Structure 1
Amino acid sequence: MISVIDIIEDTMVDGPGFRTSIYCAGCSHACPGCHNPQSWDFGHGRKMSTGAIMDVIKADPYANVTFSGGDPMYQAEGFTELAGAIKTQTNKDIWCFTGFTFESLASKPRYRRLLELIDVLVDGPFVQSLKDADLLFRGSSNQRLIDVPASLRAQKVVEMSPLW
């Protein structure tokens, strides 16, 4: 089960192309200037099963998937189950936004299992003094677009090219 605030279909702001974005409840980072502070409350969402979320995801065969929030890493087990279902039942890529850094997540088995199923991780807290409206798919210049499979193979961060 995942505590979900909302599922937005056919959005184009949470990664390239059309995406189904799952916004989860709960975040302790409390970044000043966060664009989604209503997602900080861990009790704000409604519990949804992997099957119910998959029904929404599979309803649009052309949209890829984004995990956002809140911070999906606070519900790592639920998102690991969901990501596994996405990978086995569809041909969709998965992007994930988190306030944690890749390095801190990759070193812990609880998070590494989820990372192994994610294609792109947008990592790091939002830092208001580094806000840059010209950045693609992130809010502040400290945040990185990480190619997760390449990073896991290289055992170091491999950032995505700024051009698609």
Structure 2
Amino acid sequence: MTMYIADYKRFDVINGKGLRHSLFTSGCTHHCKGCFNAATWNFKYGTPYSSELEERIIADLNMPDVNIAGLSILGGEPFQNADGLLGLAARIRRDCRGKDIWIWSGYTFEEIMADADESKRELLSYCDVLIDGRFLLEQRNLKLKWRGSENQRVIDVKQSLITKQPVLMNC
């Protein structure tokens, strides 16, 4: 299945730590009440992912004289597009030294680790920070950093993969 992209934003300072670029995938079956990006629930919203976009993202991450921290991947639901994102994530690890990957997901760390779909766990392994958990309108808190509801967590993925349990980041 072709992965669709809802948007690609360069020079984003809202979705993660530091100056970043952000990729918004299309497609989500969580359908969280009050979702800020409900248009991306449709798996064919936006434009098909292309090798040209991938090249642009890699070039943008490696811009000389600009301190880009990394790429944020949001949605939709990125883990429902894991197969389509694996190549990009692997290229960032290989070709973009020192750049991190943040992913926002309605799935929890535990759900991803328990999923039979190996591509989800592989995508997680490329990730540095995971903001996990479905958005819950009744727990919305606009004062939270990088998340929208109290149940969501900001997880240090590398440490969590070592300990096999979520290790929260201080934010």
TM bucket by the smaller chain? over 0.9
Q: Give the alignment of 1:143-162 within 5 angstroms.
A: 143-162=152-171
8 Å CA contact retained: 1:54, 1:86: no
**Percent of residue pairs bearing the same amino acid type:** 35
The aligned residue for residue 113 of structure 2 is 106
The aligned residue for residue 93 of structure 1 is 100
CA deviations 1:2-47 (Å, max 9, x no partner) are 3101100111111011111000110111111111111111111211
Structure 2, gaps ≥5 residues long? none
CA separation in 2, counterparts of 1:116 and 1:54? Answer: 22
Q: CA deviation at 1:53?
A: 2.1
**Deviating runs (4+, > 6 A) in structure 1?**
none
The aligned residue for residue 44 of structure 2 is 43
| Mapped pair 1:59 → 2:65 | no
8 Å CA contact retained: 1:124, 1:144: yes
Q: How many residues matched?
A: 162
CA separation in 1, counterparts of 2:17 and 2:159? Answer: 19
CA separation in 1, counterparts of 2:52 and 2:111? Answer: 30
TM-score by length of 2: 0.90
Pick aligned residue for 1:133 from 115, 118, 142: 142
Task: Let me know the Cα RMSD of the aligned residues.
Answer: 1.3
The aligned residue for residue 14 of structure 1 is 15
Q: CA deviation at 1:50?
A: 4.5
SS at match of 1:116: helix
- Shift of the 50–98 alpha-carbon distance from structure 1 to 2, 3 Å rule, reads farther
CA separation in 2, counterparts of 1:57 and 1:36? Answer: 25
The residue type equivalent to 2:119 in the other structure is R
TM-score by length of 1: 0.93
CA deviations 1:57-78 (Å, max 9, x no partner) are 4224332100001011111011
CA deviations 1:72-128 (Å, max 9, x no partner) are 111101111110011100021000000011101012322110111000000000001
The aligned residue for residue 82 of structure 1 is 88
8 Å CA contact retained: 2:58, 2:95: no
